[in-house]
Amino acid sequence: MKVVIATILILITFFAVALYMEQYVNQSAEILTSELEKLEQAIEKEEWKEVRQHMENTAQGWGETKKVWLTFLEHNEIDKIDIVFARLQSYVGSEENVEALSSTAELKFLLQHIVEKQGFRLTNVL
């Protein structure tokens, strides 16, 4: 009987943590996507002072999010985001709006991909 109760408690804990992590990934990806959309709008207007401010906010947000994501997500997915993010920072620094817009779109895609891939769904479990 003790084994059954222990097993049930472990399963409940596992599912609770998995659901919490899914919620955290969704929420943090949504915040980053929102910052990227603000960045995109500023790039389209070619307001580079505003672009740099949004870039700084996005970099700070990604730095905080990355620390948590590294503990439970695949590192190669995070590495892809780091690479594109570094490219975006370079494009913003040289005020190349077409390339910067392309990189923001790529980052939004990667974030959405992680949300879909890490979701707690039967297709992801099997």
Range of the domain at 95: 2-125
Whether pTM > 0.95 for this model: the answer is no
Average pLDDT over residues 103-108: 97
What CATH number should be reported for the domain holding residue 49?
1.20.120.290
Q: Residue 103: pLDDT above 90?
A: yes
Give pLDDT, residue 78.
94
Q: Report how many domains make up the chain.
A: 1
CB 42 within 8 A of CB 104: no
